[in-house]
Structure 1
Amino acid sequence: MPKAEHGAQIMQDSFKCVTEYVRTAFENDPVCVHVGNAQECEIKRHPQYDDFRSKAVVTRAARPARSRLWDSMVAMGRLSDMRGDDKWRMAVVDCLTPFLIKKSRIIAREFFADLEDIRAEMVVAALATWAATATGVAPSEVPELMRKAAVNAAYACAKVHDNESTVDELDAFLAHAEAPPESGIKASAIIHNADPRDPAVAEQIRGECHGAKLRRFVHPDILRKFHDDIRTGRRTGVSSNLASDSMLARIFVSGGNYYYYTSDFYPAFVGLPVAAEVLGVPPSSVYRMVRTGTFPCPTTFMGRKHQVYTKALMSHLNIPDVIVHPDDVENGAAHARWE
């Protein structure tokens, strides 16, 4: 927060802060709203953020009720939230601000309210609505709910009442939304006569259990090729700042960081029909559920096809995305071979 020459603090314009934050987050990289990574996407043309934002604003102004681009933005925001990355969530807010700028000025002028305060409340309300609509709300409905919440917050900040929308409207969408329970796979340990409370032992058990499961449906050559890529550096593992004490010790001995997430072994995305089959969703219902926001996992578009993020599918199925070491996975696979 900058200071004026006479020492008084001046609040930054929240809309501008959001825009600057998102531009910094995307930097000069191409923006892929299809799968999040332009290198993995089948669509070859990807704009930089400013061009993408302009297209999103124009698209919403022309077709505010339904837009595949905005549906994909919301889906990417949900997927990014799962990774702990907020840039797509903030991008949705940023692309909505052109529709809030004029309204904020009108409210500030007519009710003698501080413009910066009003815009700050608008951003807070839009983000709160984003969080409240995480499940059970169709992606096409989320941007409009965020916009209405922002406008209501602006009127509340100006101490007046607005009838554009009511809290009940949002409550109706959220009546059936419940957070999935947290749980993990319970697999029998392969290691005997060891203390599973020891972090190093627990790490080895996780890896061997994962390898034993993979051995049942993955050809050994595929697993070996994946591990060779990890060991030779053709495929990056987990970031070193995620390493525990036991992992750091093992990295020191082996001279390489070969750890990876179990989700890294699978494709980043699967087709909607495959995901529906895994989830037990009837084929006749799957596309209707996607349109109404009741499909269990967020979806995104790749060209004309719906794709489901593999990590989202694992999360819904309560399959933990754990860090494993190739040696442990291979030991577990070898053990399962002789069962």
Structure 2
Amino acid sequence: MAPDVFDCVAAYVRDVCGEGPVCVHVDDARECQIKRHPDYVKFRSRAVAARAARKPSQLWESMVSMGRMSDMRGDNKWRMVVVDCLTPFLRARSWSISREFYCDLGDVRSDMFEAALDVWEETAKGVPPREVPTLMVKAAISAAYRRANVHEGESSTSDVEDLLMFEEVVMDSTLKASSIIHDADPRDPAIVEQIRGERTGALWQMYGLWEVVNRYHEDLRAGRRPGLRGILATETMLARTWVTGSNFYYHISDFYPKFVAIPAAAEALGIAKSTAYKMVRAGSFPCLTTRMGSGIQVPTEALMRSLSIADIIVHLDDVENGAAHVGGN
């Protein structure tokens, strides 16, 4: 018997989470201020217990916030973690609906899964994280009852493999600089990529940040930091990775703090601090927030998006070339 969609989600989540510690704050236990983290089995148990208590849960708020952050990176890991932690509340209902209305259990669960993901997409803006799990469960159960009223000859068209594929990431990049590259076609994607990197390096050199950037590059070359991962590689990136033997691409946000406090984010957005806290409570703050310990933080990536600052991808060779050009080397 083929596994149903809930089993597929569970297997997928356990594969991406592995046996190591699970961090719902920054997704990397090594970078988190909170030092104790459970493995996924214990984490899921806590999440299910918190949901069963029917009380506001900081854990679930953090899970949804982390899911939104992962979405921005084109990674559906935490979205699937949320779904997996909700399945105990959907399995029993799917069994009862299947038996009562003589529906195929696999079809019922596929519809529930698809409805839950639709709600996840629909609530990406303007809905407080604490409300999202309840809306997903309600939509899933409604979809199951709709399946119960479908004619017997109709079959489900959902494809589990398609639903579990990683989303493609669309990187926003604009050409706004002259390059040290001469006699090249500026419409060539490879040339555009180099110009972006050179312009970034030139700016960091002019702002006096090159020493910090250079240390980062030394760590990349020495293998102490990972390059860009979890994103759809372009032909140019694949070619350069093959030549260098390493991945020296990274996002410029790697140089910024991963999170900023609400007052700093409010100032950047032109919002009064008191108004910002009210907006966070109402779920109307312009960008994603996440709870860390007793405080609320704003992911830098989310703030950059709200300010229309593109988190571009650059190659360290291009950045160094641009810095050297400005520095007269």
TM-score normalised by length of structure 2: 0.82
Distance apart, 1:324 and its partner CA: 2.0
CA distance in 1, matches of 2:147, 2:253: 45
How much does 1:129 deviate?
A: 0.9
Aligned to 1:20: 11
Identity score, percent? 53
Is the partner of 1:156 in helix, strand or coil?
helix
Give the whole-Å Cα distance in 2 for the aligned partners of 1:247 and 1:122.
Answer: 38
Per the TM alignment, residue 153 of structure 1 is displaced from its structure 2 partner at its CA by: 0.7
Q: Are 1:281 and 2:281 counterparts?
A: no
Q: For 1:226-245, what per-residue CA distance to the aligned partner results, in whole angstroms no more than 9, with x for missing partners?
A: 22222222222235983634
Go from structure 1 to structure 2 and tell me whether the alpha carbon gap of 1:115 and 1:295 turns closer, same or farther (over 3 Å shift): same
Pairs aligned (count):
307
Q: Match for residue 84 of structure 2?
A: 94
Task: Give, in whole Å, the separation in 1 of the partners of 2:224 and 2:313.
Answer: 18
Gaps of 5+ in 1: 3-10, 161-180
- Is the partner of 2:310 in helix, strand or coil? coil
Q: Can you list the C-alpha shifts for 1:289-327, whole angstroms capped at 9, x where unaligned?
A: 222222222222222222222222233333333332334
- Cα 1:203–1:120 shift into 2, 3 Å: closer
Deviation of 1:113 after TM superposition, in Å, equals 2.7
Aligned pair in 2 of structure 1 residues 228, 144: CA closer, same or farther (>3 Å)? same
Distance in 2 (CA, whole Å) between partners of 1:27 and 1:256 is 24
Q: For 1:185 and 1:319, how far apart are their aligned partners in 2?
A: 11
Partner of 2:115: 125
Match of 1:45 among 29, 33, 36: 36
Which of the numbers 184, 190, 195 marks the counterpart of 1:205? Answer: 195
Unaligned runs of 5+ in 2: 151-169
Distance 1:323 1:115 in 2: 44
Q: Output the amino acid matched with 2:53.
A: A
1:139 is aligned, of 114, 124, 129, to 129
The answer to whether the 8 A contact 2:262-2:273 is kept is no
The answer as to whether partners of 1:72 and 1:300 remain within 8 angstroms in 2 is yes
- After TM superposition, give the deviation of residue 90 of structure 1 in Å: 1.2
Q: Distance in 2 between matches of 1:182 and 1:237?
A: 17
Alpha carbons of structure 1 residues 245 and 55: separation in structure 2 relative to 1, 3 Å: closer
Q: CA deviation at 1:96?
A: 1.3
- Poorly superposed stretches of 4+, deviation over 4 Å: 181-186, 254-257, 334-338
- 1:150: how far off? 0.8
Structure 2 residue aligned with 1:152: 142
Following the alignment from structure 1 to structure 2, what is the Cα–Cα distance between the partners of residues 116 and 242?
Answer: 35
2:18 counterpart letter in structure 1: E
Residues 122, 137 of structure 1: alpha-carbon distance in 2 compared, 3 angstrom cutoff: same
Aligned to 1:62: 53
Native 8 Å contact 2:177 2:199 kept in 1: yes
Per mean C-alpha deviation after superposition, the further-off stretch among 190-199 and 118-127 is 190-199
- Residue-by-residue CA offset, 1:30-70 (whole Å, 9 max, x unaligned): 11111111111011111111111111111112134x21111
SS in 2 for 1:270: strand
Work out which of the residue numbers 184, 191, 199 in structure 1 matches 2:180: 191
Distance across 2 between alignment mates of 1:152 and 1:236: 44
Distance of 1:33 and 1:336 partners within structure 2: 41
For residues 200 and 58 of structure 2, the distance between their equivalents in structure 1, rounded to whole angstroms, comes to: 37
Judge conservation of contact 1:269–1:310 (CA < 8 Å) in 2: yes
Shift of 1:186: 5.1
User: Aligned match of 2:288 in 281, 289, 298?
Assistant: 298
| Structure with max Cα Rg | 1
Match of 2:70 among 41, 59, 80: 80
CA contact (8 A) 2:288 2:302 kept: yes
RMSD over aligned Cα atoms: 2.8
User: Could you report, residue by residue, the CA deviation over 1:139-163 in whole angstroms, capped at 9, with x for unpaired residues?
Assistant: 1111111011011111111119xxx
Instruction: Decide whether aligned partners of structure 1 residues 336 and 293 sit closer, same or farther in structure 2, where only a CA change above 3 A counts.
Output: farther
Using a 3 Å threshold, how does the CA distance of structure 1 residues 193 and 143 change in structure 2: closer, same or farther?
same
Shift of the 256–25 alpha-carbon distance from structure 1 to 2, 3 Å rule, reads closer
3-state SS of 1:295 partner: coil
- Contact 1:300–1:307 (CA<8 Å) still a contact in 2? yes
